[in-house]
Amino acid sequence: MLLQKATHDFVLAHVHQQRLMHSKTYVTVNRLNQAESEARETQSWLETAVECEYITQKVGKELFELYHEVIGKLINMENNPDEWVIEPREQRI
């Protein structure tokens, strides 16, 4: 009976851990997607700032390219979330 209880608890802990991982992966990818959207919006504002001559074309281009690099890294992270999600510690039974 004790072994059966321990096995049951282990299975429940494993199911909980898998749900947690799925949830964390979803949250991580969702936040990365939000960050990508914000970076793209910033690029749009940079274009507007250049058009309105708030910043020079040179500065606008440099900042736009920096955001382009950031977006590329965010997309890489979105496409490979398992490399970026921290796994929860194993639960002791």
Q: Does residue 36 belong to any structural domain of this protein?
A: yes
Q: Does residue 56 belong to any structural domain of this protein?
A: yes
pTM over the 0.75 mark:
no
pLDDT digits (tens, 9 = 90+) for 15-46: 544 554 555 566 677 888 889 999 999 999 99
Is the predicted pLDDT of residue 85 greater than 80, yes or no?
no
pLDDT for residue 40: 93
Structural domain count of the chain: 1
Residue 35 maps to which CATH number?
1.20.1440.60
Q: Does residue 42 belong to any structural domain of this protein?
A: yes
Comparing C-alpha atoms, which of 3, 21, 68 is closest to residue 42? 68
User: Binning pLDDT at 50, 70 and 90, where does residue 78 land?
Assistant: confident
Q: What three-state secondary structure class fits 17?
A: helix
Q: Does residue 90 belong to any structural domain of this protein?
A: no
Output the six-digit token pair for 62.
């440099």
Structural domain harbouring 27: 2-81
CA atoms lying within 13 Å on the CB side of residue 22: 6
